[in-house]
Structure 1
Protein backbone atom coordinates (compact mmCIF):
# COMPACT_ATOMS: atom_id res chain seq x y z
CA UNK A 1 0.00 0.00 0.00
CA UNK A 2 1.38 3.41 -0.96
CA UNK A 3 2.25 5.94 1.70
CA UNK A 4 -0.35 8.78 1.56
CA UNK A 5 2.33 11.14 2.85
CA UNK A 6 4.78 10.24 0.12
CA UNK A 7 5.55 13.28 -2.03
CA UNK A 8 4.96 12.69 -5.75
CA UNK A 9 7.51 13.99 -8.29
CA UNK A 10 6.87 17.48 -9.60
CA UNK A 11 5.40 17.48 -13.11
CA UNK A 12 5.53 20.18 -15.77
CA UNK A 13 4.17 20.23 -19.33
CA UNK A 14 7.11 21.21 -21.53
CA UNK A 15 5.30 20.89 -24.85
CA UNK A 16 1.54 20.68 -25.26
CA UNK A 17 1.19 19.27 -28.76
CA UNK A 18 -1.36 16.59 -29.54
CA UNK A 19 1.10 14.76 -31.79
CA UNK A 20 4.03 14.98 -29.36
CA UNK A 21 3.28 15.98 -25.77
CA UNK A 22 6.39 16.33 -23.61
CA UNK A 23 6.17 16.25 -19.80
CA UNK A 24 8.83 16.62 -17.14
CA UNK A 25 8.38 14.25 -14.22
CA UNK A 26 10.89 15.11 -11.52
CA UNK A 27 14.33 14.75 -13.09
CA UNK A 28 13.08 12.94 -16.19
CA UNK A 29 11.34 13.83 -19.44
CA UNK A 30 8.53 11.67 -20.86
CA UNK A 31 7.36 11.72 -24.48
CA UNK A 32 5.65 9.23 -26.82
CA UNK A 33 8.05 6.70 -28.32
CA UNK A 34 8.29 6.61 -32.12
CA UNK A 35 9.44 3.94 -34.58
CA UNK A 36 12.84 5.66 -34.71
CA UNK A 37 13.22 5.93 -30.91
CA UNK A 38 15.63 2.92 -30.81
CA UNK A 39 17.97 4.77 -33.20
CA UNK A 40 17.85 7.95 -31.09
CA UNK A 41 18.53 5.96 -27.92
CA UNK A 42 21.45 4.17 -29.56
CA UNK A 43 22.88 7.58 -30.48
CA UNK A 44 22.33 8.99 -26.98
CA UNK A 45 23.89 5.88 -25.41
CA UNK A 46 26.95 6.36 -27.63
CA UNK A 47 27.22 10.01 -26.61
CA UNK A 48 27.03 8.99 -22.96
CA UNK A 49 29.74 6.37 -23.52
CA UNK A 50 32.13 8.96 -24.98
CA UNK A 51 31.31 11.45 -22.20
CA UNK A 52 29.58 14.02 -24.37
CA UNK A 53 28.06 16.05 -21.53
CA UNK A 54 25.29 17.91 -23.37
CA UNK A 55 22.88 15.16 -24.42
CA UNK A 56 20.05 13.64 -22.37
CA UNK A 57 20.71 10.20 -20.88
CA UNK A 58 18.35 7.35 -21.70
CA UNK A 59 16.48 5.84 -18.75
CA UNK A 60 13.73 3.62 -20.16
CA UNK A 61 10.93 2.99 -22.63
CA UNK A 62 7.67 2.37 -20.79
CA UNK A 63 5.31 -0.05 -22.59
CA UNK A 64 1.96 1.06 -23.95
CA UNK A 65 -0.95 0.68 -21.55
CA UNK A 66 -4.57 0.96 -22.63
CA UNK A 67 -4.87 4.08 -24.77
CA UNK A 68 -1.49 5.43 -23.62
CA UNK A 69 1.33 4.89 -26.15
CA UNK A 70 4.77 3.59 -25.31
CA UNK A 71 6.75 6.36 -23.65
CA UNK A 72 10.44 7.12 -23.73
CA UNK A 73 12.06 8.40 -20.55
CA UNK A 74 15.25 10.46 -20.67
CA UNK A 75 17.02 12.75 -18.24
CA UNK A 76 15.89 16.35 -17.79
CA UNK A 77 18.54 19.02 -18.38
CA UNK A 78 17.77 22.14 -16.30
CA UNK A 79 18.35 25.56 -17.83
CA UNK A 80 16.83 27.94 -20.39
CA UNK A 81 15.65 26.62 -23.73
CA UNK A 82 12.98 27.40 -26.30
CA UNK A 83 12.40 31.12 -27.07
CA UNK A 84 14.94 32.18 -24.43
CA UNK A 85 17.70 30.77 -26.60
CA UNK A 86 17.43 33.56 -29.17
CA UNK A 87 18.73 36.26 -26.82
CA UNK A 88 21.61 34.06 -25.70
CA UNK A 89 22.86 33.46 -29.22
CA UNK A 90 22.63 37.17 -30.11
CA UNK A 91 25.50 37.70 -27.66
CA UNK A 92 28.77 36.89 -29.46
CA UNK A 93 29.88 34.77 -26.51
CA UNK A 94 26.77 32.67 -26.94
CA UNK A 95 27.29 32.54 -30.70
CA UNK A 96 30.84 31.24 -30.27
CA UNK A 97 29.74 28.75 -27.63
CA UNK A 98 26.99 27.40 -29.90
CA UNK A 99 29.49 26.82 -32.70
CA UNK A 100 31.81 24.95 -30.34
CA UNK A 101 28.90 22.86 -29.11
CA UNK A 102 28.10 21.75 -32.66
CA UNK A 103 31.80 21.05 -33.30
CA UNK A 104 32.04 18.98 -30.13
CA UNK A 105 28.96 16.98 -31.06
CA UNK A 106 30.32 16.22 -34.51
CA UNK A 107 33.62 15.12 -33.01
CA UNK A 108 31.79 12.87 -30.53
CA UNK A 109 29.77 11.13 -33.23
CA UNK A 110 32.31 11.10 -36.07
CA UNK A 111 33.60 7.57 -35.45
CA UNK A 112 30.30 6.01 -34.38
CA UNK A 113 29.62 2.84 -36.35
CA UNK A 114 27.18 0.57 -34.50
CA UNK A 115 26.96 -3.10 -35.47
CA UNK A 116 23.22 -2.75 -36.16
CA UNK A 117 22.51 0.13 -38.59
CA UNK A 118 20.06 2.55 -36.91
CA UNK A 119 16.77 3.29 -38.67
CA UNK A 120 15.97 7.01 -38.43
CA UNK A 121 12.86 9.07 -39.02
CA UNK A 122 11.91 9.06 -42.68
CA UNK A 123 13.31 5.55 -43.05
CA UNK A 124 16.95 6.54 -43.40
CA UNK A 125 19.40 3.92 -42.18
CA UNK A 126 23.02 3.75 -41.02
CA UNK A 127 25.41 6.48 -40.03
CA UNK A 128 26.36 7.89 -43.42
CA UNK A 129 28.98 7.48 -46.08
CA UNK A 130 32.25 9.33 -46.78
CA UNK A 131 32.07 12.92 -45.54
CA UNK A 132 28.90 12.21 -43.59
CA UNK A 133 27.94 11.56 -39.99
CA UNK A 134 24.78 11.48 -37.89
CA UNK A 135 23.61 15.09 -37.96
CA UNK A 136 21.40 16.56 -35.25
CA UNK A 137 19.31 18.15 -38.02
CA UNK A 138 17.55 20.66 -35.73
CA UNK A 139 20.47 22.60 -34.28
CA UNK A 140 18.92 25.97 -33.46
CA UNK A 141 19.10 28.31 -30.44
CA UNK A 142 15.77 26.98 -29.13
CA UNK A 143 17.12 23.40 -28.83
CA UNK A 144 20.16 24.41 -26.81
CA UNK A 145 19.82 24.47 -23.03
CA UNK A 146 21.52 27.59 -21.70
CA UNK A 147 22.96 28.86 -18.46
CA UNK A 148 23.19 32.53 -19.39
CA UNK A 149 25.27 32.42 -22.62
CA UNK A 150 26.85 29.05 -21.84
CA UNK A 151 25.30 25.91 -23.39
CA UNK A 152 24.66 23.11 -20.90
CA UNK A 153 22.55 20.80 -23.05
CA UNK A 154 21.26 19.92 -26.50
CA UNK A 155 17.65 18.75 -26.97
CA UNK A 156 15.20 17.30 -29.49
CA UNK A 157 17.09 14.59 -31.33
CA UNK A 158 14.06 13.24 -33.20
CA UNK A 159 15.25 14.45 -36.62
CA UNK A 160 18.79 13.06 -36.22
CA UNK A 161 20.10 11.01 -39.11
CA UNK A 162 22.97 10.64 -41.57
CA UNK A 163 23.99 13.56 -43.74
CA UNK A 164 26.92 15.72 -44.85
CA UNK A 165 28.73 17.55 -42.04
CA UNK A 166 27.84 20.91 -43.58
CA UNK A 167 24.15 20.09 -43.32
CA UNK A 168 24.17 20.86 -39.59
CA UNK A 169 26.44 23.89 -40.02
CA UNK A 170 24.27 25.46 -42.71
CA UNK A 171 21.08 24.75 -40.77
CA UNK A 172 22.51 26.48 -37.70
CA UNK A 173 23.74 29.46 -39.71
CA UNK A 174 20.27 30.18 -41.04
CA UNK A 175 19.20 30.99 -37.49
CA UNK A 176 22.34 32.42 -35.89
CA UNK A 177 23.75 34.60 -38.72
CA UNK A 178 20.74 35.09 -39.18
CA UNK A 179 19.13 34.72 -42.60
CA UNK A 180 16.21 36.97 -41.66
CA UNK A 181 15.32 40.57 -42.47
CA UNK A 182 16.17 43.45 -40.16
CA UNK A 183 12.64 43.90 -38.85
CA UNK A 184 12.38 40.29 -37.72
CA UNK A 185 15.86 40.41 -36.17
CA UNK A 186 14.91 43.38 -33.99
CA UNK A 187 11.27 42.57 -33.35
CA UNK A 188 11.44 38.81 -32.71
CA UNK A 189 15.03 37.58 -32.49
CA UNK A 190 16.22 39.93 -29.72
CA UNK A 191 18.81 41.90 -31.74
CA UNK A 192 19.33 45.49 -30.56
CA UNK A 193 19.72 46.65 -34.15
CA UNK A 194 20.75 45.45 -37.59
CA UNK A 195 23.06 42.43 -37.14
CA UNK A 196 26.44 42.28 -38.85
CA UNK A 197 25.55 39.07 -40.62
CA UNK A 198 28.88 38.54 -42.38
CA UNK A 199 30.78 38.91 -39.11
CA UNK A 200 28.43 36.53 -37.31
CA UNK A 201 28.73 33.94 -40.07
CA UNK A 202 32.52 34.21 -39.93
CA UNK A 203 32.57 33.91 -36.14
CA UNK A 204 30.44 30.77 -36.17
CA UNK A 205 32.46 29.20 -38.99
CA UNK A 206 35.78 29.95 -37.30
CA UNK A 207 34.70 28.64 -33.89
CA UNK A 208 33.33 25.51 -35.52
CA UNK A 209 36.68 24.98 -37.21
CA UNK A 210 36.17 26.03 -40.82
CA UNK A 211 39.03 27.85 -42.53
CA UNK A 212 36.98 29.15 -45.47
CA UNK A 213 33.49 30.65 -45.58
CA UNK A 214 33.18 30.54 -49.37
CA UNK A 215 29.84 29.13 -50.44
CA UNK A 216 28.27 29.05 -46.98
CA UNK A 217 25.41 31.33 -48.02
CA UNK A 218 24.57 28.96 -50.87
CA UNK A 219 24.69 26.02 -48.42
CA UNK A 220 22.15 27.79 -46.21
CA UNK A 221 19.82 28.50 -49.14
CA UNK A 222 20.04 24.84 -50.16
CA UNK A 223 19.06 23.80 -46.63
CA UNK A 224 16.11 26.20 -46.71
CA UNK A 225 14.91 24.67 -49.98
CA UNK A 226 15.32 21.17 -48.60
CA UNK A 227 13.34 22.19 -45.51
CA UNK A 228 10.45 23.38 -47.67
CA UNK A 229 10.43 20.10 -49.59
CA UNK A 230 10.61 18.09 -46.34
CA UNK A 231 7.61 19.83 -44.76
CA UNK A 232 5.61 19.40 -47.97
CA UNK A 233 6.54 15.70 -48.14
CA UNK A 234 5.52 15.01 -44.54
CA UNK A 235 2.25 16.87 -45.03
CA UNK A 236 1.48 14.80 -48.12
CA UNK A 237 2.18 11.67 -46.07
CA UNK A 238 -0.42 12.83 -43.55
CA UNK A 239 1.76 13.77 -40.57
CA UNK A 240 -0.46 15.86 -38.31
CA UNK A 241 2.06 18.54 -37.39
CA UNK A 242 3.10 19.21 -41.00
CA UNK A 243 -0.49 19.10 -42.26
CA UNK A 244 -1.30 21.89 -39.80
CA UNK A 245 1.80 23.84 -40.84
CA UNK A 246 0.90 23.69 -44.53
CA UNK A 247 -2.71 24.66 -43.79
CA UNK A 248 -1.49 27.72 -41.88
CA UNK A 249 0.59 28.96 -44.83
CA UNK A 250 3.99 27.81 -43.60
CA UNK A 251 5.22 26.83 -47.08
CA UNK A 252 4.64 30.40 -48.27
CA UNK A 253 6.56 31.67 -45.25
CA UNK A 254 9.52 29.41 -46.06
CA UNK A 255 9.40 30.43 -49.73
CA UNK A 256 9.56 34.09 -48.69
CA UNK A 257 12.58 33.35 -46.48
CA UNK A 258 14.34 31.65 -49.39
CA UNK A 259 13.61 34.62 -51.63
CA UNK A 260 15.02 37.01 -49.00
CA UNK A 261 18.18 34.91 -48.68
CA UNK A 262 18.69 34.84 -52.44
CA UNK A 263 18.15 38.60 -52.74
CA UNK A 264 20.49 39.38 -49.81
CA UNK A 265 23.30 36.89 -50.38
CA UNK A 266 25.68 39.87 -50.52
CA UNK A 267 25.18 40.46 -46.79
CA UNK A 268 26.90 37.16 -46.04
CA UNK A 269 29.56 36.78 -48.76
Structure 2
Protein backbone atom coordinates (compact mmCIF):
# COMPACT_ATOMS: atom_id res chain seq x y z
CA UNK A 1 0.00 0.00 0.00
CA UNK A 2 1.37 3.41 -0.96
CA UNK A 3 2.02 5.73 2.00
CA UNK A 4 0.10 9.01 1.96
CA UNK A 5 1.41 11.88 4.06
CA UNK A 6 -1.32 14.41 4.81
CA UNK A 7 -0.24 17.94 3.93
CA UNK A 8 -3.62 19.61 4.46
CA UNK A 9 -6.66 18.07 6.12
CA UNK A 10 -9.58 20.46 5.96
CA UNK A 11 -13.21 19.37 5.94
CA UNK A 12 -13.59 20.61 2.36
CA UNK A 13 -10.25 19.36 1.01
CA UNK A 14 -7.56 16.85 1.89
CA UNK A 15 -4.18 17.24 0.23
CA UNK A 16 -1.67 14.41 0.52
CA UNK A 17 1.86 13.68 -0.58
CA UNK A 18 2.59 10.35 -2.25
CA UNK A 19 6.29 10.01 -2.97
CA UNK A 20 7.30 12.92 -5.20
CA UNK A 21 3.69 13.83 -6.03
CA UNK A 22 0.82 15.76 -4.46
CA UNK A 23 -2.78 14.53 -4.73
CA UNK A 24 -5.68 16.99 -4.47
CA UNK A 25 -9.45 16.82 -5.09
CA UNK A 26 -10.53 17.60 -8.65
CA UNK A 27 -12.52 20.79 -9.18
CA UNK A 28 -14.56 22.00 -12.18
CA UNK A 29 -11.57 24.17 -13.21
CA UNK A 30 -8.86 21.49 -12.76
CA UNK A 31 -8.62 20.65 -16.46
CA UNK A 32 -8.08 24.31 -17.33
CA UNK A 33 -5.46 24.74 -14.61
CA UNK A 34 -3.63 21.66 -15.89
CA UNK A 35 -3.54 23.22 -19.35
CA UNK A 36 -2.00 26.33 -17.77
CA UNK A 37 0.58 24.25 -15.90
CA UNK A 38 1.54 22.42 -19.08
CA UNK A 39 2.01 25.79 -20.78
CA UNK A 40 4.24 27.01 -17.95
CA UNK A 41 6.34 23.88 -18.30
CA UNK A 42 6.58 24.34 -22.07
CA UNK A 43 7.82 27.94 -21.81
CA UNK A 44 10.41 27.07 -19.18
CA UNK A 45 8.84 28.63 -16.07
CA UNK A 46 10.59 26.55 -13.38
CA UNK A 47 8.52 27.38 -10.32
CA UNK A 48 5.14 25.74 -11.03
CA UNK A 49 4.26 22.13 -10.23
CA UNK A 50 3.90 19.79 -13.18
CA UNK A 51 0.46 18.45 -14.02
CA UNK A 52 0.69 14.64 -13.99
CA UNK A 53 -2.94 13.66 -14.58
CA UNK A 54 -5.60 12.02 -12.42
CA UNK A 55 -5.02 9.06 -10.10
CA UNK A 56 -7.12 5.94 -9.49
CA UNK A 57 -9.02 7.74 -6.71
CA UNK A 58 -10.03 10.60 -9.00
CA UNK A 59 -7.58 13.10 -7.53
CA UNK A 60 -5.39 15.43 -9.53
CA UNK A 61 -1.69 14.54 -9.44
CA UNK A 62 0.96 17.26 -9.32
CA UNK A 63 4.71 17.14 -8.83
CA UNK A 64 5.86 17.90 -5.28
CA UNK A 65 8.06 20.97 -4.70
CA UNK A 66 10.28 20.59 -1.67
CA UNK A 67 10.67 23.56 0.67
CA UNK A 68 8.87 25.76 3.18
CA UNK A 69 5.41 27.15 2.44
CA UNK A 70 2.09 27.89 4.12
CA UNK A 71 2.41 29.87 7.39
CA UNK A 72 6.22 29.67 7.17
CA UNK A 73 6.09 31.92 4.10
CA UNK A 74 5.14 35.04 6.06
CA UNK A 75 8.57 35.45 7.63
CA UNK A 76 10.27 35.16 4.23
CA UNK A 77 8.83 38.45 2.91
CA UNK A 78 9.58 40.60 5.97
CA UNK A 79 13.18 41.33 4.92
CA UNK A 80 13.91 43.38 1.80
CA UNK A 81 15.55 40.55 -0.15
CA UNK A 82 12.57 38.26 0.34
CA UNK A 83 10.13 41.02 -0.58
CA UNK A 84 12.01 41.73 -3.81
CA UNK A 85 12.26 38.04 -4.68
CA UNK A 86 8.53 37.70 -4.11
CA UNK A 87 7.82 40.60 -6.50
CA UNK A 88 10.17 39.23 -9.16
CA UNK A 89 8.52 35.81 -8.95
CA UNK A 90 5.14 37.38 -9.70
CA UNK A 91 6.60 39.26 -12.68
CA UNK A 92 8.20 36.08 -14.07
CA UNK A 93 4.93 34.21 -13.65
CA UNK A 94 2.90 36.91 -15.39
CA UNK A 95 5.34 37.12 -18.28
CA UNK A 96 5.24 33.33 -18.69
CA UNK A 97 1.43 33.30 -18.94
CA UNK A 98 1.08 36.17 -21.42
CA UNK A 99 1.22 33.74 -24.39
CA UNK A 100 -1.17 31.17 -22.90
CA UNK A 101 -4.28 30.49 -24.96
CA UNK A 102 -6.99 28.93 -22.75
CA UNK A 103 -8.83 25.90 -24.14
CA UNK A 104 -12.23 26.50 -25.72
CA UNK A 105 -13.99 24.89 -22.75
CA UNK A 106 -11.95 26.78 -20.15
CA UNK A 107 -13.49 26.99 -16.67
CA UNK A 108 -12.24 29.33 -13.95
CA UNK A 109 -13.18 29.34 -10.28
CA UNK A 110 -14.15 33.02 -10.25
CA UNK A 111 -14.86 33.41 -13.93
CA UNK A 112 -12.75 35.61 -16.18
CA UNK A 113 -12.81 39.38 -16.17
CA UNK A 114 -13.88 41.28 -19.27
CA UNK A 115 -11.81 40.28 -22.29
CA UNK A 116 -10.37 43.78 -22.70
CA UNK A 117 -9.00 43.47 -19.15
CA UNK A 118 -7.04 40.32 -20.02
CA UNK A 119 -3.27 40.80 -20.01
CA UNK A 120 -2.09 37.59 -18.37
CA UNK A 121 -3.41 34.65 -16.39
CA UNK A 122 -3.48 35.92 -12.82
CA UNK A 123 -2.61 33.42 -10.12
CA UNK A 124 -5.57 34.67 -8.10
CA UNK A 125 -4.12 33.83 -4.67
CA UNK A 126 -0.58 35.17 -4.85
CA UNK A 127 0.36 35.38 -1.17
CA UNK A 128 3.38 34.30 0.91
CA UNK A 129 1.57 31.08 1.86
CA UNK A 130 1.49 29.88 -1.77
CA UNK A 131 5.20 30.36 -2.44
CA UNK A 132 7.65 27.54 -1.66
CA UNK A 133 10.98 28.68 -0.25
CA UNK A 134 14.38 27.09 0.24
CA UNK A 135 16.24 29.37 2.61
CA UNK A 136 15.57 32.90 1.41
CA UNK A 137 14.92 31.97 -2.22
CA UNK A 138 11.52 31.13 -3.75
CA UNK A 139 11.62 27.81 -5.57
CA UNK A 140 7.93 27.19 -6.21
CA UNK A 141 4.50 28.70 -6.74
CA UNK A 142 1.54 26.49 -5.83
CA UNK A 143 -2.26 26.33 -5.60
CA UNK A 144 -3.57 27.68 -8.90
CA UNK A 145 -7.24 27.03 -8.09
CA UNK A 146 -8.18 30.70 -8.43
CA UNK A 147 -6.22 31.45 -11.60
CA UNK A 148 -8.08 33.45 -14.25
CA UNK A 149 -7.47 35.75 -17.22
CA UNK A 150 -7.14 39.31 -15.95
CA UNK A 151 -4.95 42.41 -15.81
CA UNK A 152 -1.65 42.18 -13.94
CA UNK A 153 -2.86 44.72 -11.39
CA UNK A 154 -5.35 42.22 -9.98
CA UNK A 155 -2.54 39.99 -8.69
CA UNK A 156 -0.38 42.98 -7.75
CA UNK A 157 -3.15 44.56 -5.69
CA UNK A 158 -4.00 41.25 -4.06
CA UNK A 159 -0.37 40.56 -3.10
CA UNK A 160 0.31 44.04 -1.77
CA UNK A 161 -2.56 43.97 0.69
CA UNK A 162 -0.71 41.17 2.48
CA UNK A 163 2.93 42.16 2.08
CA UNK A 164 2.94 45.99 2.14
CA UNK A 165 0.84 45.23 4.21
CA UNK A 166 -2.57 46.88 4.25
CA UNK A 167 -3.03 45.80 7.86
CA UNK A 168 -2.87 47.60 11.20
CA UNK A 169 0.21 47.57 13.40
CA UNK A 170 -1.18 44.99 15.81
CA UNK A 171 -1.82 42.44 13.08
CA UNK A 172 1.59 43.11 11.52
CA UNK A 173 3.51 42.44 14.72
CA UNK A 174 1.29 39.74 16.21
CA UNK A 175 0.56 37.60 13.14
CA UNK A 176 2.65 38.65 10.13
CA UNK A 177 6.11 38.25 11.69
CA UNK A 178 7.15 41.91 11.70
CA UNK A 179 9.41 42.77 14.65
CA UNK A 180 8.03 46.34 14.59
CA UNK A 181 5.41 48.27 12.58
CA UNK A 182 6.58 48.26 8.95
CA UNK A 183 7.36 51.23 6.73
CA UNK A 184 4.46 50.50 4.41
CA UNK A 185 5.26 53.17 1.82
CA UNK A 186 8.83 51.93 1.40
CA UNK A 187 7.70 48.31 1.17
CA UNK A 188 5.10 49.13 -1.48
CA UNK A 189 7.70 51.02 -3.49
CA UNK A 190 10.21 48.19 -3.14
CA UNK A 191 7.67 45.65 -4.36
CA UNK A 192 6.83 47.83 -7.37
CA UNK A 193 10.52 48.25 -8.17
CA UNK A 194 11.09 44.49 -7.90
CA UNK A 195 8.18 43.82 -10.24
CA UNK A 196 9.37 46.54 -12.62
CA UNK A 197 5.95 48.14 -12.53
CA UNK A 198 6.63 51.86 -12.52
CA UNK A 199 8.66 54.66 -11.10
CA UNK A 200 8.44 54.48 -7.32
CA UNK A 201 7.76 58.25 -7.16
CA UNK A 202 3.97 57.94 -7.47
CA UNK A 203 2.03 55.19 -5.70
CA UNK A 204 -1.53 56.58 -5.60
CA UNK A 205 -2.66 54.44 -8.54
CA UNK A 206 -1.25 51.33 -6.89
CA UNK A 207 -3.07 52.08 -3.65
CA UNK A 208 -6.28 52.48 -5.67
CA UNK A 209 -5.63 49.06 -7.25
CA UNK A 210 -5.14 47.44 -3.85
CA UNK A 211 -8.40 48.83 -2.50
CA UNK A 212 -10.27 47.79 -5.66
CA UNK A 213 -8.90 44.28 -5.28
CA UNK A 214 -9.88 44.16 -1.62
CA UNK A 215 -13.44 45.09 -2.55
CA UNK A 216 -13.47 42.56 -5.38
CA UNK A 217 -12.22 39.87 -3.02
CA UNK A 218 -15.17 40.49 -0.70
CA UNK A 219 -17.52 39.88 -3.62
CA UNK A 220 -15.65 36.76 -4.78
CA UNK A 221 -15.84 35.21 -1.34
CA UNK A 222 -19.52 36.13 -1.04
CA UNK A 223 -20.29 34.64 -4.47
CA UNK A 224 -18.53 31.36 -3.73
CA UNK A 225 -20.13 31.18 -0.29
CA UNK A 226 -23.60 31.74 -1.75
CA UNK A 227 -22.92 28.90 -4.21
CA UNK A 228 -22.01 26.59 -1.33
CA UNK A 229 -18.28 26.30 -2.05
CA UNK A 230 -15.94 25.58 0.84
CA UNK A 231 -14.17 27.02 2.71
CA UNK A 232 -15.94 30.23 1.66
CA UNK A 233 -19.34 29.11 2.95
CA UNK A 234 -17.86 28.44 6.39
CA UNK A 235 -15.95 31.71 6.30
CA UNK A 236 -19.14 33.63 5.59
CA UNK A 237 -21.00 31.86 8.39
CA UNK A 238 -18.18 32.73 10.79
CA UNK A 239 -18.29 36.45 9.98
CA UNK A 240 -15.26 36.59 7.68
CA UNK A 241 -17.01 38.85 5.16
CA UNK A 242 -17.41 41.48 7.87
CA UNK A 243 -13.69 41.20 8.65
CA UNK A 244 -12.84 41.72 4.97
CA UNK A 245 -15.07 44.79 4.77
CA UNK A 246 -13.38 46.23 7.86
CA UNK A 247 -10.00 45.79 6.18
CA UNK A 248 -11.24 47.74 3.16
CA UNK A 249 -12.33 50.54 5.47
CA UNK A 250 -8.91 50.51 7.19
CA UNK A 251 -7.14 50.79 3.85
CA UNK A 252 -9.28 53.74 2.80
CA UNK A 253 -8.67 55.53 6.08
CA UNK A 254 -4.92 54.90 6.10
CA UNK A 255 -3.92 55.24 2.45
CA UNK A 256 -1.58 58.09 3.44
CA UNK A 257 0.70 55.46 4.99
CA UNK A 258 1.35 54.05 1.49
CA UNK A 259 1.27 57.03 -0.86
CA UNK A 260 4.26 59.12 -1.83
CA UNK A 261 4.33 62.50 -0.16
State the TM-score, normalized to the length of structure 2.
0.93
Question: Which of the pair has more CA radius of gyration?
Answer: 1
1:116, distance to aligned residue in structure 2 (A): 3.2
Per the alignment, residue 80 of structure 1 pairs with 68
**1:179 lines up with 2:166 in the alignment:** yes
State the TM-score, normalized to the length of structure 1.
0.90
CA distance in 1, matches of 2:3, 2:66: 14
* Misfit runs of 4+, over 4 Å: none
Q: Deviations over 1:164-204 (max 9, x none)?
A: 11101111101110000011111110001010000000000
Per the alignment, residue 107 of structure 2 pairs with 119
CA distance in 2, matches of 1:171, 1:123: 17
1:165 to 145, 152, 169: 152
Partners of 2:172 and 2:178 within 8 A in 1: yes
Per the alignment, residue 196 of structure 2 pairs with 209
Partners of 2:23 and 2:60 within 8 A in 1: yes
After TM superposition, the structure 1 stretch with the greater mean CA deviation from structure 2, 9-18 or 100-109, is 9-18
SS in structure 2 of the partner of residue 23 of structure 1:
strand
Q: 1:123 to 1:261 in 2, by over 3 A?
A: closer
Unaligned 5+ segments in structure 2 are: none
Q: Deviations over 1:81-140 (max 9, x none)?
A: 001000000011100000000000011111222563522124449x95465221001000
Partners of 1:128 and 1:134 within 8 A in 2: no
CA distance in 2, matches of 1:224, 1:78: 31
- 1:139-154 matches, within 5 Å, as 139-154=126-141
- 1:21-170 matches, within 5 Å, as 21-64=14-57, 70-114=58-102, 116=104, 118-124=106-112, 128-129=115-116, 132-170=119-157
2:227 to 224, 228, 237: 237
SS in structure 2 of the partner of residue 90 of structure 1:
coil
CA distance in 2, matches of 1:260, 1:231: 19
SS in structure 2 of the partner of residue 215 of structure 1:
helix
After TM superposition, the structure 1 stretch with the greater mean CA deviation from structure 2, 24-33 or 12-21, is 12-21
Please give the root-mean-square deviation of Cα atoms over the aligned residues, in Å: 1.7
Q: Deviations over 1:133-164 (max 9, x none)?
A: 21001000000001122100001000001111
Partners of 1:52 and 1:105 within 8 A in 2: yes
Q: How many residue pairs align between the two structures? A: 256
